[in-house]
Amino acid sequence: MTHSFSIAIRVGIFVILMGSALFVHLRGRARFGLMKALTDYTVLLAPYNMLMVLFSRVKARPYAPVAAFPDLAPLQAHW
C-alpha cells in the first residue's frame, strides 16, 4: 500500500512538472527547440512561471503599460 502511494505521488509530481513545462513552452511565439526546453533549468521553474502567468492581472504583452505601476512614477520622474 505504501509503495503504490509513493509511486502515485512521484507520478503526480512528474505530470505536474511536465504539464507546466509544456504550458510554458507553448505559450509564446518564439521558443527553444523541444529538447533544449526540456533539459534547461526552465523546466524546474515552469510550475512557478505557470502560476504567475495564470494569476497575473497584467495582460500578456511584451511591455506592461506604465499606468499599471503607479508606485514607479517617482523613479521615472528622476530617471
Per-residue pLDDT of the chain in tens (79 residues, 90 and over written 9): 567 778 889 999 899 888 888 888 787 777 778 787 777 787 788 888 888 888 887 777 677 777 888 898 888 888 8
And the C-alpha cell for 34? 523541444
Place of cell 511584451: 62
Helices (H) and strands (E) in the chain, counts: 4, 0
Q: What is the DSSP letter of 61?
A: -
Side-chain-side CA neighbours of 74 within 13 Å: the count stands at 1
Q: What is the pTM of this model?
A: 0.57
Residues 46, 52: Cα–Cα separation, whole Å: 10
And the C-alpha cell for 39? 533539459
